[in-house]
Amino acid sequence: MARTDIHERILAQRRLRAAQGRLRQRRTIGRRDGVRLEVDGQWLTGFCSNDYLGLASQFEVGAALQDAVAREGTGATASHLVCGHHAMHEQLEREMADWLGVPRALLFGSGFAANLAVQQALLEDEDVCVQDRLNHASLIDATRLAGARLRRYPHLDPEGAMRQLRNAPGGAAMLATDGVFSMDGDIAPLRALSLVARTQEALLYVDDAHGIGVLGPQGRGTVAEAGLGVADVPLQLATLGKALGGYGAVVAGDVDLIEHLAGVARPYIYTTALPPALAAASLAAIRLARRDDWRRTRLQELVGQFRTGAGRFGLELMPSTTPIQPVMCGDEATATAMSAALERRGFLVTAIRPPTVPEGRSRLRVTLSSLHTPQQVNALLGAIAEARDQALRTAAA
């Protein structure tokens, strides 16, 4: 029989994405200076990174990285269970666990790998993972790759989660949710979900990639902000690559579960450990995030300023109190046109389109950093309003 030609298939898919206005394009950053970025020779003010606390370019963090590279070299040389587990990794895990108020933590190369590890190691074919419909792709893909049954409930709906768990077949159950949803910026109802998990004998797992460093006492994230502990949330993910400005992720929580992950999780066992120098940089970032409450205070002030200004300009926002402030555009063409108009005005704000977000819900994903100034936020608001008005005039023509 004749087989499908893969090149023809991907060309057809590309043509379809082009017709829908959904082609994705990488932008090469030449240089970076805080929130300022050089793109194709033009300096832009960025409002689309996840560097919420401004730690990616912080002097102490960079110095820790350079010192560790000089001492330890550039790589771990092996997986953790061979000879790649460095004292710096151990110290990072201990300090992350202490910060989050849990017994143990385990370091991974990325949040995607960590989410896969948790589900692959804990779930089997007859088990179920119940998830918020707007969970990050890594959580959804992890269930599929683990071979467990995937059930999804309406966004932020604990009763929907209860129904899915109650109607699920026998076997073990996990209830998984983002802490802060990366495209909407809203926060999961963790107290209600913890009650659902307890009554349905499910393990609650929180991917707090966008909450760690930003929310809760000392920036400990959404779990701490909800007043929950390891008995309520046995496992949570803390990324090192967003508010902490580095790379990698940590799964933290119950001792027995963490020990099990370290012994059997394939994304942990069968990959080279994170470079010790990156662990050193993340250690420095954690200490600053714990200490510097002023970064979170400034960030919340900027969030309030942005939302108040957006209201004056009549911009449609999502109900978010976090640094993720989506400006709704509707269709892909409008979002793309507005993003391009902002770039001409000196701002880098990415247009988010389906399939990342639902049909008709394209948006500009504005993200704020403690490094932004009130003047920059005001200038962005004026530029967004002008870009919207220009898009409306073009559509009416």
Whether residues 123 and 191 share a domain: the answer is yes
Give the CA count within 13 Å in the CB-facing half-sphere of 87: 3
| Cα–Cα dist 295/227, whole Å | 22
Phi, psi of 202 (to 5 degrees): -115, 150
- Does some domain include residue 6? no
Summarize the annotated binding site for pyridoxal 5'-phosphate as residue ranges: 111-112, 182, 210, 239
Q: Which pairs count as long-range contacts for 141-147, CB under 8 Å and 24+ apart, including other chains? A: 141/112, 141/116, 142/115, 142/116, 142/118, 143/119, 143/176, 145/116, 145/119, 145/120, 146/116, 146/119, 146/120, 147/123
- Does some domain include residue 45? yes
Whether residues 302 and 353 share a domain: the answer is yes
Cβ–Cβ < 8 Å for 275, 74: yes
The residue segments making up the domain with residue 163 are 59-291
Last residue of a domain, one of 274, 291, 308: 291
Summarize the annotated binding site as residue ranges: 24, 111-112, 136, 182, 210, 239, 356
Whether residues 386 and 317 share a domain: the answer is yes
- Does some domain include residue 101? yes
Whether residues 140 and 225 share a domain: the answer is yes
Cβ–Cβ < 8 Å for 148, 121: no
Whether residues 261 and 310 share a domain: the answer is no
Q: Write down the residue that tokens 């829908």 correspond to.
A: 20
Whether residues 162 and 226 share a domain: the answer is yes
Whether residues 83 and 232 share a domain: the answer is yes
**Mutual orientation of helices 137-146 and 111-122 as an angle, nearest 10°?**
30
Q: How many domains does the chain have?
A: 2
* CA Rg value for the chain: 22
Whether residues 261 and 131 share a domain: the answer is yes
pLDDT in tens, the chain (397 residues): 889 999 999 999 999 988 887 888 888 999 999 999 999 999 999 999 999 999 999 999 999 999 999 999 999 999 999 999 999 999 999 999 999 999 999 999 999 999 999 999 999 999 999 999 999 999 999 999 999 999 999 999 999 999 999 999 889 999 999 999 999 999 999 999 999 999 999 999 999 999 999 999 999 999 999 999 999 999 999 999 999 999 999 999 999 999 999 999 999 999 999 999 999 999 999 999 999 999 999 999 999 999 999 999 999 999 999 999 999 998 888 999 999 999 999 999 999 999 889 889 999 999 999 999 999 999 999 999 999 999 888 877 7
Q: Write down the residue that tokens 């560097």 correspond to.
A: 51
- Looking up residue 340, the CATH number of its domain turns out to be 3.90.1150.10
Bridge pairing between strands 149-153 and 128-132: parallel
- Does some domain include residue 18? no
List of residues 6+ apart from 352 with CB closer than 8 A = 183, 326, 335, 362, 363, 364, 365
Whether residues 180 and 252 share a domain: the answer is yes
Closest CA to 174 of 137, 145, 204: 204
Last residue of a domain, one of 237, 263, 291: 291
User: How are strands ordered across the β-sheet holding 149-153?
Assistant: 104-108, 249-253, 235-239, 203-207, 173-178, 128-132, 149-153
What is the helix (H) or strand (E) element at residue 278, kind and residue range? helix 276-291
Summarize the annotated binding site for substrate as residue ranges: 24, 136, 356
